[in-house]
Amino acid sequence: MGDANDSFVAVFLYPDESVESFSRSLPIVGSRPPAVIRAAAAFEGAAAVDVFRLADASAWPEAAAYLYEGTVPGTVEDGDGVEQVTTPDD
């Protein structure tokens, strides 16, 4: 098992205050925070992915904040239901 330096706290923010922000500890997979995080979701009963874009990395590598961008159809490959994307074009 890795130590605390192997993970960071991702804070997921929603522009609509009716949805509560949350955080999750994720493994560090590179020297910079991921540009995009995709999280498994359900939309009207179908498999979907919530897309969050990097908003603030000033506390990296301890933490980074991500702003909700939208929900799209699809799935994530990671068994934990979260996929980190290094570049926004991936």
Note the pLDDT tens digit of each residue in 46-70. Answer: 889 999 999 999 999 999 999 999 9
Q: What mean pLDDT is reported for the chain?
A: 88
Between 15 and 3, the more confident residue is: 15
- pTM, whole model, 2 decimals? 0.85
pLDDT of 18 reads: 80
Give 81's pLDDT tier (boundaries 50, 70, 90).
Answer: confident
Query: Strand, coil or helix: what is 89?
Result: coil
Burial 25-43 (b: 16+ CB within 10 A, else e): ebebeeeebbbbbbbbbee
